[in-house]
Structure 1
Amino acid sequence: MPAVALPGPLTSTDVAEGIRTRGYALAPGTGFDTGWGADAFPRLVRAYEDLEPDAYLADGGAYRFRRHVRFLHRAADGAVLRPEPPGPYFQSAEVNPFAGGSPRWFAPAGPEVRDNPFLHRLLLHGASVFSGLAGAEPGRGLDWEIDVHLVRIRARAEEHGLPSPEGVHRDGFDYIALHLIGRTGVTGGRSIVCDPEGRELERPLLAAPMDSLYADDRRILHGTEPVLVDPAAGRTAGYRDMLLTSYRRTS
């Protein structure tokens, strides 16, 4: 995989400072540079029209669709991400009592996602921020395993969409970054941010494309309110599309 030439800051938000001081940071989508890479961001958005049903919903629901890809990033390789062959995703039952405890095989992401320059830039930005927070020397990074999930939550009149059926939780990684790709015809879906004891800190609404929540997964619990069809939209179904990324340090 060739290196990605990074043109400058990806977001105007100081993500590292937010995480350092309170365990999480909210970054408005208007502060992201989504125009770099020609058609890269629109291609990522279009990929959400080709997700597969999530077969691991313990409540028997049919409201979640997703694809998955895992990347490895070695600091010595510079601005390079290496996609891994399709493989299982695992969370312990302690971390995810709803669907954890056994490997889950999700539909793999295609080349429009795996090779997407905007996605690579976004993930490399996360790796840089999290390396600094984890104690890397200035100008030097750390090695990371990065899981990426494209997730669509569908809401219908007869079935609310549940972005977090497990409730407020940890993901079981070092750091996470959650990015809204889009919302169509829905209400609800506010994020829930809590301290380790479950006390609520904030309930922000990710409403515009690339509105994002970054967090130290060991310091913060997170969840999301149910998503409901918006009666004013005049639709029978609505959608909330998220790009969920999680970082596990490997060096």
Structure 2
Amino acid sequence: MREPVMDGRFDVLLAKMQVGTADAVKTEIAASFWDEMGNGDHAQVHAHLFNVPSPAASCGGATPRPSTWTRYAVRTRLTPTHPPTTQGGEAMPLGSQGFAVIQLPETSPDILPSYDDCPVDEFMGNGTRFKRFSQYRLSPAGSDGWSFERLPHRDYTTFKKFDSAGCGIRRIDEPIKVDFTPLIEVGARELGLDRSEDWQINVHQNRTRADGGGPGPLTPAGVHHDGHEFVMIAILNKLNVAGGTTRLWTPDADDPLWTDTLEPGQAVLWDDRALAHDVTAVLSADGGRGHRDILIVAFSRWAEKWYGDDHYAAALTEQ
């Protein structure tokens, strides 16, 4: 049915949602509104087009795939204060603020028990962190999937400019034993990774333990960047813990852009070049032992990979 009257509250809302947004976002909103109004053609005003059957209705029973914009809006429960940015006419999944929170699919039965077998991290956490680590090469597969090549196991190294607490050394971790790639592929699709090239990922399987004797520190480096293009933190399990609040920061900000204590089955993804992050310590909820199990995935283009002799030489010799 056609709208019987024009509702001016929509125009007020449209104006309010632009307060504080970037010029490029305002331009995109204006272009979208002009399209809603039929681009100057009264017959093409969208309110009238609701009476016109979509060509998709006669596509032989196939359900059209939702657009990236639709998936973005459903995933983030989009509000007018968080409009998406665009790239090449397609909505960027992370939106204008550079992050998204998603729901994860159910994990296979072997995933959660595998955290019980993680060795203690000898380099970070002062005995409260247990960890495994692996690296992969991602290549586009099919129309929107990714294939995973597990790379020969090597030590983890990072740069001083990104991690002053654990830089300049070979951090020796045992490889991951279970298959996290179905979860990682969900993150890769949600990020909308550039499919014109391969990607390299660092995958950290971490358990942080806390008890009445003290907290489990999560980010000894404080507010920092990891040094990759994108990062995903997935929360898989929490037992008798509090704390562990993730915060994302814009440059030189006094307060975080976003803060939340994620629950199992949730993940946050962000643009690591635009946003820094930290996570508050994990605390025991009642003075007894508890733990928090997560998966961290860091995404870099293959041309900028954190793998191989060149990377290790650069990370280990950085002054």
TM-score normalised by structure 2 residue count = 0.63
Percent of aligned positions that are identical: 26
2:127 to 55, 62, 67: 62
Distance 2:252 2:160 in 1: 19
How far the C-alpha of 1:141 sits from its partner, in A, is 4.5
Aligned to 1:125: 186
Matched AA of 2:274 = R
How far the C-alpha of 1:176 sits from its partner, in A, is 0.5
8 Å CA contact retained: 1:190, 1:224: yes
1:24-81 per-position Cα deviation (integer Å, ceiling 9, x unaligned): 1122x3xx332xxxxx533111111110111112x7x111110011111122686320
2:139 to 74, 93, 100: 74
SS at match of 1:46: helix
The 5 Å alignment of 1:61-210 reads: 61-75=126-140, 79-110=146-177, 113=178, 116=179, 119-132=180-193, 136=194, 140-199=195-254, 200-207=256-263, 209-210=264-265
Aligned to 1:51: 118
1:33 to 89, 101, 105: 105
8 Å CA contact retained: 1:127, 1:144: no
SS at match of 2:110: helix
Deviates further, 191-200 or 210-219: 191-200
1:2-27 per-position Cα deviation (integer Å, ceiling 9, x unaligned): xxxxxx99996269745231011122
Check 1:18–1:168 CA distance in 2 against 1; reply closer, same or farther (3 A cut): farther
Aligned to 2:297: 245
How far the C-alpha of 1:188 sits from its partner, in A, is 1.1
Matched AA of 2:136 = F
8 Å CA contact retained: 1:92, 1:102: no
Aligned to 2:268: 213
Aligned to 1:37: none
SS at match of 1:182: strand
Distance 1:220 1:247 in 2: 14
- What RMSD over aligned residues (CA atoms) do the two structures have, in Å? 2.5
Matched AA of 2:214 = E
Corresponding residue pairs, total? 218
Distance 2:140 2:291 in 1: 36
How far the C-alpha of 1:244 sits from its partner, in A, is 0.5
- The answer as to 2:13 corresponding to 1:13 is no
How far the C-alpha of 1:146 sits from its partner, in A, is 0.9
Distance 1:160 1:214 in 2: 25
8 Å CA contact retained: 1:127, 1:141: no
Check 1:129–1:33 CA distance in 2 against 1; reply closer, same or farther (3 A cut): closer
For structure 1, the 5+ residue unaligned runs are 1-7, 35-39
TM-score normalised by structure 1 residue count = 0.78
8 Å CA contact retained: 1:170, 1:221: yes
How far the C-alpha of 1:126 sits from its partner, in A, is 2.9
8 Å CA contact retained: 2:246, 2:278: yes
Computing the radius of gyration from Cα coordinates, the structure with the larger value is 2
SS at match of 1:42: coil
For structure 2, the 5+ residue unaligned runs are 1-64, 77-83, 85-90, 304-319
Distance 1:164 1:21 in 2: 26
SS at match of 2:146: coil
8 Å CA contact retained: 1:131, 1:141: no
